Amino acid sequence: MFDKILVANRGEIAIRVMRACRELEVDSVAIYSDADKTSLFAKYADESYHIGESTPSESYLNIEKIIDIAEKSKADAIHPGYGFLAENSNLGKECEKHGIKLIGPKGSVIEAMGDKITSKKLMRAANVPVIPGTDKGISSIDQGIKIAESIGYPVIVKASAGGGGIGMRTVYEEDELVRAIESTQSVASSAFGDSTVYIEKYLEEPRHIEFQIMADEQGNTIHLADRECSIQRRHQKLIEEAPSPIMTEDLRERMGSAAIKAATHIDYTNAGTVEFLYSNGDFYFLEMNTRIQVEHPITEIITNVDLVKEQIKIAAGNEICCSQEEVEVNGHAIECRINAEDPLSDFAPNPGKITGYRSPGGIGVRVDSGVYMNYTIPSFYDSMISKLIVWSPSRNDAINRMKRALREYVILGVKTTIPFHKAIMNHEAFQQGRLNTHFVDEHHKGIQ
Ligand code: ADP
């Protein structure tokens, strides 16, 4: 086992990783920016080092400084969490040069799956169903028009290097295509430094269903069931649940084996997620996330596997916790992302000082949070401040438990997504499990 792990992240996920370290009796090292001097994770760690100014390029994205602190603190491994450097293959390369273990898959796999065109090609080769369309970047507008015609409208123009819901444009008819291609190219080039875009079929009312993968370095790969993440705003998840309300044994078997096929085809190691869009009984590979995800706790709760501890153990050379047959799904879990955003003002970020705080508790409630009373949420980073997770034997009971926990959650001083979550939990269509990725847009008025 490692002696000391540097957590190259901040907020709730930094604390989540440090909790796993503590249970494994491994020391944790925090790095914190100017804006995070008073953040909880910097206090929680066994050792904390100031890394630099608040802007991510001077702090959580600065590989050189991170490696420097890892060496100074004698950390023998780095956990990147999610976001920031979690899917940056250069961190892995630098770690290797310095004899530090990066907790995650190999750099070459991160690179391949980070590019949507490359990953689609790999999945097609692995016989995993992909969304109809091309696996080639479009070379000219004329070619784009021909491709869209052959796929049939509506189509979606996507940046190959895209992520975080950025670099995607839906096109319903040819008239809109040229503008969509040009604008996606320009967004892609400024946000990701790569203007390659491609076109695929736009599935009109899909559900987003993903599978948690875990693979060790001895060649064992399992999945830990599914999560439904159809409640999204601007292609960003807001509520996740496990299992998916439409999951059956047969569907889990089919989607789960496709997810395993995807992972084994690329020699995947450590934790990862294979995302699918599900539509009219069919499912298609969307992308693979080569890291621990925000919504990992709902899987932990229904499978009773600590995914972060597993990640660390696997990186240290241990075999995976369990065989596929040993993975059991128990009950139902829901997660609400508590963001410091104003749901009545188009989810605009609302950083500031928390002047009153009481987190919910009681049976079946878990809060993974990075904040506390009198804490000032900085404006430099993501607006997610906490995750409220509940478990119950049935989906109905889990919804009622979430409603109860949301009522208990007091956060004063900043606007949060709590009222939005309450409205969703009370929404008939949600209660009936009638979900698709347009749920929020379709029911928006009713929800506000
Ligand atoms: P990102 O990498 O930016 O997160 P993804 O490719 O994972 O982007 O897609 C995010 C979301 O965008 C999906 O969950 C879905 O809601 C929507 N989406 C992406 N591709 C399609 C498609 N072909 N048809 C319909 N919706 C799509």
pLDDT by 10s per residue, the chain, length 448: 999 999 999 999 999 999 999 999 999 999 999 999 999 999 999 999 999 999 999 999 999 999 999 999 999 999 999 999 999 999 999 999 999 999 999 999 999 999 999 999 999 999 999 999 988 999 999 999 999 999 999 999 999 999 888 999 999 999 999 999 999 999 999 999 999 999 999 999 999 999 999 999 999 999 999 999 999 998 899 999 999 999 999 999 999 999 999 999 999 999 999 999 999 999 999 999 999 999 999 999 999 999 999 999 999 999 999 999 999 999 999 999 999 999 989 899 999 999 999 999 999 999 999 999 999 999 999 999 999 999 999 999 999 999 999 999 999 999 999 999 999 999 999 999 999 999 999 987 666 5
Alpha-carbon distance of 173 to 306, in angstroms, equals 47
**In this structure, which residue's CA is closest to atom 12 in ligand 1?**
235
Residue with tokens 């904390």: 48
DSSP 130: B
Catalytic residues: 291
195 lines ligand 1 (CB under 6 A): no
164 lines ligand 1 (CB under 6 A): yes
286 lines ligand 1 (CB under 6 A): yes
Cα–Cα distances in Å, from 314 out to 78, 134, 269, 307, 309? 13, 36, 8, 10, 8
- Best CA proximity match to 162, nearest among 124, 180, 189: 189
E-strand spans in 244-392? 270-279, 282-289, 332-339, 341-342, 348-349, 352-353, 356-358, 365-369, 376-377, 384-392
273 lines ligand 1 (CB under 6 A): no
DSSP β-bridge partners for residue 342: 348
Count of beta carbons in the 10 Å neighbourhood of residue 301: 22
- Best CA proximity match to 350, nearest among 407, 291, 406, 413: 413
Q: How many whole angstroms from 316 Cα to the centroid of ligand 1?
A: 34
Predicted TM-score of the model (pTM): 0.96
Rg for the chain (alpha carbons), in Å?
A: 21
Best of 113, 192, 437 to mutate for ligand 1, by most ligand atoms within 8 A of CB?
A: 437
Contact in structure between 329 and 300 (CB atoms under 8 Å):
no
Contact in structure between 135 and 287 (CB atoms under 8 Å):
no
**In this structure, which residue's CA is closest to atom 8 in ligand 1?**
165
234 lines ligand 1 (CB under 6 A): no
287 lines ligand 1 (CB under 6 A): yes
DSSP β-bridge partners for residue 253: none
CA-275 nearest atom, ligand 1: 7
Q: How many whole angstroms from 158 Cα to the centroid of ligand 1?
A: 9
Alpha-carbon distance of 327 to 178, in angstroms, equals 48
